Amino acid sequence: MILRRYILRRACATSLFVWIAGILFFVVVDLMGTAQQIARGSLTEVVRLYLLRCPEIAATLLPVALVLGPLLALGSLSKHYELAAMKYTGASMQRVLLPPLLGLALVAAGVLATLSEWALPRTAPRAVELQDQVFALRGPRFWAFYQPRRWLRTPSGFLHASSLHGGNLHDVTYVRHNAAFLPVQLIRAAELQARPDGYSLIAGTSRALDPVGAPLVAFDALAFPEPLAAGSLAQHLGFPEVFDVRGLLTAVREGSIQGGNVVPFQLALWRRLGDPLLLLALALLVIPFAAWAKRGQPTERRLIEGALILGYYFAVRGGFGTLAAASASSCALAALGPPAVTLGLAALLLLRVEVEHPVG
């Protein structure tokens, strides 16, 4: 019990250090890459922007801390003969390492679930809006939630927009069609506001497409008594990360009724369950590498091992997700497949760990 507490304390301290250092490093690199745009805002706005982005950055770097932290901590123990001393007392390395690393993974899974379900849905939309309005940071380079424009179907036409702020679409182009699905009207508006009984287009111009050459007509507001589900606005730009579980369920249900693409939302919904399980499996994958540690191995060796594990993590997670999106296969398989594969791989490696082999 004392050995397990000692290892847990060392692994937690190192993982926390790696996590905080990674967040700070990300912020510094991001500031260097966007210095010209960041200079447009005040110091208070810059601080507010990165505070709002912290949950997204922290969630991204949590697996990195979970892998590198234990590897570096146990490498340090091996360097100072502490693992060798544990081995010579007759303790099984699997039994000594498994409980503390699983405990650390359970804490990390809880933190990830809290960030995904509570923090990100509240901070991500405000961060996107601040980046766009104050710093003019647009495009996938600056925020993972920005997606290319996509057409959204309505009962009487098709529309697309360039951004989503405060639940409203901005920079809207709307093409209305007749019963034969022939375009009859082109509308450009600064904003689309959703209402319970329909939606309104604000501040734009309208032109009839039949006859050709019809004049432009400016308007302050055009009201359309057509149902436009709130979930459709988010689906238009593809922001599954800004929803909690209840919002994802609503987006999937409304998108299915309207015939929209709900795969990103189904995948995000299943990943709310699959990602914490994947962290637990990742902790098991670290144990064989830690048990194989030998005295005198340099820190670079631990970092290389961590990079290999993390490369596997991102490859298997992204590969299953791409497979689900490309082939319209089960999103449950895409989210739960990586934990299952990782558990199988960890089990095979654990079987190869020779308990009798000296650690030092």
Does any domain span residue 194? yes
181: CATH: 2.60.450.10
Q: Which two tokens stand for residue 261?
A: 């693409």
Does any domain span residue 145? no
Residue 113 burial (CB count, 10 A): 16
Residue 59 burial (CB count, 10 A): 19
Q: Are residues 130 and 12 in the same domain?
A: yes
Distance CA 207, CA 24 (A): 51
Match 């308007």 to its residue by tokens: 219
Per-residue pLDDT of 176-212, as tens digits, reads 878 777 788 888 888 887 776 777 888 889 888 766 6
Average model confidence (pLDDT) across the chain = 78
Q: Are residues 157 and 129 in the same domain?
A: no
> Would you state the pLDDT for residue 305?
86
> Would you state the pLDDT for residue 130?
78
> Would you state the pLDDT for residue 295?
59
Distance CA 54, CA 196 (A): 34
Does any domain span residue 297? yes
Burial label, 127 (beta-carbon count in 10 A; 0-12, 13-18, 19+): buried
Match 């005295």 to its residue by tokens: 295
> Would you state the pLDDT for residue 303?
84
> Would you state the pLDDT for residue 358?
44
Q: Are residues 130 and 157 in the same domain?
A: no
Confidence of residue 16 (pLDDT cuts 50, 70, 90): very high
* 3 state SS of 195: strand
Q: Are residues 54 and 120 in the same domain?
A: yes
Q: Are residues 33 and 92 in the same domain?
A: yes
Does any domain span residue 244? no
Q: Are residues 126 and 271 in the same domain?
A: yes
Residue 265: pLDDT over 50: yes
Given 205, 229, 253, the domain boundary residue is 229
Question: Cβ distance 149 to 160 under 8 Å?
Answer: yes
Distance CA 148, CA 152 (A): 12
Residue 65: pLDDT over 80: yes
Distance CA 194, CA 229 (A): 8
Task: Give the structural domain span for 36.
Answer: 2-136+265-352
* Omega within 30 of 0 (cis) for the link into 211: yes
Distance CA 54, CA 64 (A): 15
Poorest-pLDDT segment among 64-68, 119-123, 230-234, 296-300: 230-234
Given 207, 229, 251, the domain boundary residue is 229
> Would you state the pLDDT for residue 142?
47
Distance CA 60, CA 19 (A): 10
Q: Are residues 105 and 205 in the same domain?
A: no
Does any domain span residue 270? yes
Terminal C-alpha separation, the chain: 22
> Would you state the pLDDT for residue 107?
93
Burial label, 290 (beta-carbon count in 10 A; 0-12, 13-18, 19+): buried
Question: Cβ distance 271 to 197 under 8 Å?
Answer: no
Predicted model pTM: 0.71
Q: Are residues 287 and 179 in the same domain?
A: no
The residues with which 169 forms a beta bridge, in sequence order, are 164, 192
Per-residue pLDDT of 107-151, as tens digits, reads 999 999 999 888 888 887 777 777 767 776 655 444 444 344 456
Quick one: how far is CA 281 from the chain centroid? 18
Task: Report the sign of the C-alpha dihedral through residues 130, 132, 137, 138, in that order.
Answer: positive
Does any domain span residue 70? yes
Q: Are residues 201 and 82 in the same domain?
A: no
Residue 276: pLDDT over 80: yes
Q: Which two tokens stand for residue 238?
A: 């593809």
Given 204, 229, 254, the domain boundary residue is 229
Number of domains the chain is built from: 2
Does any domain span residue 63? yes
Q: Are residues 284 and 323 in the same domain?
A: yes
Residue 20: pLDDT over 70: yes
Which phi and psi (to 5°) does residue 208 adopt? -75, 135
Q: Are residues 120 and 165 in the same domain?
A: no
Q: Are residues 13 and 119 in the same domain?
A: yes
Residue 96: pLDDT over 50: yes
Per-residue pLDDT of 315-344, as tens digits, reads 998 888 777 766 655 778 888 889 999 999
Poorest-pLDDT segment among 27-41, 59-73, 81-95, 237-251: 81-95
Q: Which two tokens stand for residue 240?
A: 């599954």
Please indicate whether residue 264 or residue 59 has the higher confidence score (pLDDT): 59
Does any domain span residue 143? no
